[in-house]
Amino acid sequence: MKSGELRGPNTPNIEGWPEKGTTDPTQIRRWSRKWPGFVSGIVTGRDSGIAVLNLDRKNGKDGFAELHRMGLDPDTIWVASRFVTTF
C-alpha cells in the first residue's frame, strides 16, 4: 500500500504525495528519519483500490447518527476488496 508522510491531519510533508507515495520500506524509513514523530498517509481511491468513509461529528451534524438512521452500524468494521469481503 503506497504511503507518504504527513505533518498533521490532511497536511502532507511531500507535495503531490499521492503520486510520490511508495511501498519501498527504505524510502519510508528515510522519510520517518527526516520527519520523526509524523504519521504515514495511505493513498486511497482508484490507484490503491481502498475506499474510505470519513464520519464527522461537527457543526451540528453527526455522521454516525445519520448512518444509524439509515440502518447501518458505523461501529462495525467493513472491509471489502477484490479478494475478500468481510461484514
The predicted-structure confidence for 47-85, as pLDDT tens digits, reads as follows: 778 877 777 788 998 888 888 899 888 777 665 544 443
Q: Is the dihedral of CA 46, 49, 5, 20 positive or negative?
A: negative
- Whether 11 has a pLDDT exceeding 80, the answer reads no
Pinpoint the alpha helices (H) of 1-87: 17-20, 25-34, 63-69
Single-letter residue type at 60: G
Q: Would the pTM of this model clear 0.75, i.e. be above it?
A: no
Tens digit of each residue's pLDDT (9 = 90 or more) over 13-48: 788 877 888 888 898 889 889 888 777 777 788 877
Show the cell assigned to 33. Answer: 528519519
Please give the distance of CA 72 from its chain centroid, rounded to a whole number.
21
Rounded Cα distance, 83 and 32, in Å: 31
Bridge pairing between strands 39-42 and 3-8: antiparallel
